[in-house]
A and B are shown apart, each in its own frame.
Chain A
Amino acid sequence: MTHAAHHPATKPFRKRFADAAEPYLYSAPALILIVAVMLVPLVLGISYAFRDIQLLNPFSGRFIGLDHFRALGQDQAFFRALRNTLWWTGASVFLQFVFGLILALLLDKPFAGRGLAQALCFLPWAVPSFLAGLNWAWLFNPVIGPLPHWMYAFGILDAPNNILSDPQLAMWGPIIANVWWGIPFFAITLLAALQAIPRDLYEAASIDGAGPVQRFISITLPFLAPTIAITILLRTVWISNFADLIVVMTNGGPADRTQIVASYIFTQAFKRLDFGYASAIALVLLVLLLVYSLLIVLLRQTLLNKD
Chain B
Amino acid sequence: MASIDIEGIRKSFGAFPVLHGVDLAIRDGEFVVLVGPSGCGKSTLLRMIAGLEEVTAGDIRIDGKRVNDLAPKDRDIAMVFQSYALYPHMSVADNMSYSLRLRRSTKEKIASAVSGAAAKLGLDPLLERRPRALSGGQRQRVAMGRAIVRQPKAFLFDEPLSNLDARLREQMRAEIKKLHGDLRATSIYVTHDQIEAMTLADRIVAMHGGVVQQVGTPLDLYDRPANLFVAGFIGSPGMNFFEGRYLVSGDHADLKLENDVTLPARRVGGIESGEPATLGIRPEHVVITEGGALEGRVDLIEPTGFGIIMHVTVHDVPLKVFTLNRAMLNPGATVRLDLPRDKLHLFDGEGRRLG
Seen from chain A, the residues whose Cβ lies within 8 Å of a Cβ on chain B are 198, 200-201, 203-211, 214, 218-219, 222-223, 307
Contact = CB atoms under 8 A, between A and B. Distances in A.
A209 B147 CA distance: 12
A208 B83 contact: no
B79 A207 contact: yes
A200 B98 contact: no
21 contacts: A198-B85, A200-B81, A200-B83, A200-B85, A201-B85, A201-B87, A203-B85, A204-B85, A205-B98, A206-B51, A206-B72, A207-B52, A207-B72, A207-B78, A207-B79, A208-B73, A208-B78, A208-B102, A209-B73, A210-B73, A218-B87
Interface of B: 50-52, 71-73, 77-79, 81, 83, 85-89, 98-99, 102-103, 130, 132, 146
Contacts of B102: 208-210, 214
Contacts of B146: 204, 208
B211 to A, nearest CB: 26
Nearest to A219: B87
Given A200-B83, A207-B73, A307-B132, 16 more contacts: A201-B87, A203-B52, A203-B79, A203-B85, A204-B79, A205-B98, A206-B51, A206-B73, A207-B79, A208-B73, A208-B98, A208-B102, A209-B103, A210-B98, A218-B98, A222-B89
B79 to A, nearest CB: 5
Given A222-B89, A223-B89, A307-B88, A209 B99 contact: yes
B99 A208 contact: yes
A307 B83 CA distance: 20
B234 to A, nearest CB: 30
> Would you list the 9 A-B pairs with minimal beta carbon distance, nearest first?
A208-B99, A204-B85, A200-B85, A209-B73, A222-B89, A209-B102, A206-B72, A207-B72, A207-B79
A206 B89 contact: no
A209 B79 CA distance: 12
Contacts of B79: 203-204, 207
Given A203-B81, A204-B79, A211 B87 contact: no
Contacts of B88: 307
Nearest to A206: B72
Most central of A203, A208, A307 by chain B CB within 10 Å? A208
Contacts of B132: 307
B46 to A, nearest CB: 11
A286 B121 CA distance: 56
Contacts of A222: 89
Tell which of A200, A203, A207, A307 has the most Cβ of chain B within 10 Å.
A207
Contact of A211 (B73, B85, B99, B130): B73
Contacts of B130: 307
A206 B102 CA distance: 11
A29 to B, nearest CB: 39
B136 to A, nearest CB: 16
B78 to A, nearest CB: 7
Given A206-B72, A208-B73, A209-B73, A198 B52 contact: no
Nearest to B50: A207
B103 to A, nearest CB: 6
A205 B50 CA distance: 12
A60 B130 CA distance: 64
A6 B35 CA distance: 85
Contacts of A204: 79, 81, 85-87, 146
A201 B146 CA distance: 13
A215 to B, nearest CB: 10
